[in-house]
Amino acid sequence: MPQFMDFHDDLKLPDEAIRQITQETKDRKSDEFGVRQVELFHNADGKVYCLVEAPNAEAVRSHHAALGLTCGEVHEVSGVL
């Protein structure tokens, strides 16, 4: 499955949301768009990078829209390991 990275410039995540994302990531849970969170990087300033597995970039945008989030650029990425 392809992997994608997207960025949110001002998305302050509450602790409960981080716990839920962490658990769903551990459970390898995918949503109705086939999107599965692989990793999420964030800081207290609200800078958030999402690394997800998804069938395509449009599925990533749909995943975010269903959460009520705008999604800027989505980039397909590959790891080095």
pLDDT in tens, 30-64: 999 999 999 989 888 989 899 999 999 999 999 99
- What CATH number does residue 44 fall under? 3.30.70.3090
Q: Which domain holds residue 41?
A: 3-77
What does pTM read for this prediction? Answer: 0.85
In the chain, the number of structural domains is 1
- In this structure, the strands spanning 74-77 and 3-8 are antiparallel
Cα 8–chain centre separation:
10
- Asked if 1 contacts 54 with a C-beta cutoff of 8 angstroms, the reply is yes
E strand or H helix at 61: helix 57-66
